[in-house]
Amino acid sequence: MSTTTITAAGGLVWRKSAAGAGLEILLVHRPGYDDWSFPKGKPERDEPLPVTAVREITEETGYRVRLAHPLPRVDYRIKGGMKHVSYWICRLVGTETDFHPTREVDELRWCTPRQARKALSYEHDRDLLDTFVDRVEDKRHTTRTLVVLRHAKAVSRDRFDGPDEDRPLKDSGRRRAAELVPLLEAFGVRRVVTSPTTRTVQTVEPFVTTTGELLEIDDRVAAEVGAGAVARSVDALVATKRPTVVCTHRPTLPHVYAALGVDGPPLSPGRALVVHHRKGVVLATEVL
């Protein structure tokens, strides 16, 4: 007998409580099910789950958010199969909402963790809440974000007559660069740093064009740079509060990982490692 597998994505959106002590978590009420849960939804065609999470939260609640520390995936049975929901801790981008009740979500509620536990309709959501509370105790809800990006696919050396630093992206690389725009936006990237080569600049160019962020060139993350220079660049990147992307090269990745103290993956062209860190300590990573 065939079974159905449904994927979805959402988040635990938090804010400091109005009273100034503790925090509050955002819940949504779905009239079709008469239940209280966390905002989430299914991806559109070919939509990456981080993008789904941000879009669905905004559509259901009217709040703009950015993704922070990832939470465990929640798996539960539905009629005829399984549902897999990816969640992130989410931070508000601004405090305003343009929420309007709909047939999908007709009410929002900000709750303390204790209030949320009583209101949530499902055990798997209460389990996720417990995980979030544990993350809060470890201060993981306030992590900073660094996206380590390998440049997208470039024209091969044997097909390009000019200097290596001028090699541009292939058409497939340009498409990947465009695909990165909503992914970087989902993690709230506000600082863009890149090696000076054409292929790295072109990888982040669509994001810069779309968002208007300033493009910073850093020779210390170029392809033929030593570990010491890379470490100095990484130290500066980790020190910034703004979610940051740094676009670099395959030979440089091991130096970046060493400076971060992580055992990172090799990364295919156009792929990235999202690093969630606090006070210089990496607390979680995920591959985009």
Reduced 3-state DSSP string for 9-78: EEEEEEEECCCCCCEEEEEEEECCCCEEECCEECCCCCCCHHHHHHHHHHHHHCCCEEEEEEEEEEEEEE
Cα 201 from Cα 149, distance rounded (Å): 11
The reported pLDDT for the residue numbered 1 is 47
All CATH 3.40.50.1240 domain ranges in the chain, comma separated:
143-287
CB 60 within 8 A of CB 90: no
The reported pLDDT for the residue numbered 127 is 97
**Strand residue runs (E) in the chain:** 4-16, 23-30, 35-37, 40-41, 65-78, 81-92, 107-111, 144-150, 191-194, 215-217, 244-248, 272-278, 281-287
The residue written with tokens 């055990």 in the block is: 123
Per-residue model confidence as pLDDT tens digits over 131-143: 999 999 989 999 9
Computed over every residue of the chain, the mean pLDDT equals 95
Q: How confident is the model at residue 163 (pLDDT cuts 50, 70, 90)?
A: confident
All CATH 3.90.79.10 domain ranges in the chain, comma separated:
4-141
Per-residue model confidence as pLDDT tens digits over 259-271: 999 999 999 999 9
- Is the pLDDT at 27 greater than 60? The verdict is yes
- Is the pLDDT at 166 greater than 50? The verdict is yes
- Is the pLDDT at 12 greater than 60? The verdict is yes
Provide the greatest CA pair distance for the chain.
66
CATH architecture under which domain 143-287 falls: 3-Layer(aba) Sandwich (3.40)
Per-residue model confidence as pLDDT tens digits over 176-198: 999 999 999 999 999 999 999 99
Q: How confident is the model at residue 17 (pLDDT cuts 50, 70, 90)?
A: confident
- Is the pLDDT at 278 greater than 90? The verdict is yes
Q: Say whether 217 sits in a helix, a strand or coil.
A: strand
Q: How confident is the model at residue 81 (pLDDT cuts 50, 70, 90)?
A: confident
- Is the pLDDT at 16 greater than 60? The verdict is yes
Determine what percent of the chain is predicted with pLDDT higher than 90.
88
The reported pLDDT for the residue numbered 2 is 57
CATH architecture under which domain 4-141 falls: Alpha-Beta Complex (3.90)
Cα 97 from Cα 61, distance rounded (Å): 7
